[in-house]
Amino acid sequence: MVRKSIGFNSFVGAGFHARPQTKSDGTIPLIYSIKMQEFKAVYMEKTSNSPEETEKIAFQVGKTLKAGDIVCLDGELGAGKTAFTKGLAKALDVKDYITSPTFTIVNEYIGKLPMYHFDVYRIGDPEDMYEIGFEEYIFGDGVSIIEWSEKIMEILPQERINIFIRKDISKGENYREIVVKGGGY
Ligand SMILES: Nc1ncnc2c1ncn2[C@@H]1O[C@H](COP(=O)(O)OP(=O)(O)O)[C@@H](O)[C@H]1O
Ligand SMILES: [Mg+2]
């Protein structure tokens, strides 16, 4: 498979060189996805300079979500994983205020779909996830959002959307790089 990485705020297709289609207003769709047989690949890189901007990026990702999707969020403490989740929640029409489930492991919300918000930072052994009914959540009819997913990588299905948020203090305190990978990436 050809993988090509180009600069931020640009889009890359998998498997063949595909160009994002420009919309009638001259802009490029935020998420450029290509369907190859049953296989949907998404790759996106964005920069953000405020929590609000991060939420907006998340909102646009959230609009593409459907029942059963698993969104994995990784990045250091304070990167903006919970901020990103707020944008996803808005897109899913969740009206409640989103709080971090650091101590509860999972918070459940109802929007146009059920939304399960995990923070697995405190999980020692990935197997412990089964005790809280992890499989019922991730194979259920809702959208699962998992902060610190790298801690339970070995029990996650292959089919998921991975989001990495990275700070770069040299570019400012509020600067973040956000990479979204799904499908074949
Ligand atoms: N561009 C940005 N995107 C997201 N959060 C930002 C940004 N700039 C500053 N912040 C701040 O960083 C913190 C992110 O916190 P949070 O979302 O709880 O992180 P995490 O869940 O990754 O630990 C918040 O205090 C937020 O105001
Ligand atoms: Mg958090």
Say which CATH number the domain at 97 has: 3.40.50.300
User: Atom of ligand 1 at shortest distance to CA of 84?
Assistant: 17
Print pLDDT tens along the chain (185 aa): 333 333 333 333 333 334 455 566 655 455 544 433 344 678 999 999 999 999 999 999 999 999 999 999 999 999 999 999 999 999 999 999 999 998 899 999 999 999 999 999 999 999 999 999 999 999 999 999 999 999 999 999 999 999 999 999 999 999 999 999 987 55
For residue 85, being part of any structural domain is answered with yes
> What domain range includes position 79?
8-182
For residue 3, being part of any structural domain is answered with no
- For the chain, what is the domain count? 1
Give the pair of three-digit tokens for residue 47. Answer: 């920069």
For residue 16, being part of any structural domain is answered with yes
Of all helices (H) and strands (E), which one includes residue 52? Answer: helix 51-62
For residue 1, being part of any structural domain is answered with no
Ligand sitting nearest the alpha carbon of 165: 1
For residue 2, being part of any structural domain is answered with no
For residue 120, being part of any structural domain is answered with yes
The pTM for the full model equals 0.82
For residue 177, being part of any structural domain is answered with yes
The CA angle 31-166-179, to the nearest 5 degrees, is 20
Q: Give the residue, by CA position, lying nearest to ligand 1 atom 16.
A: 80
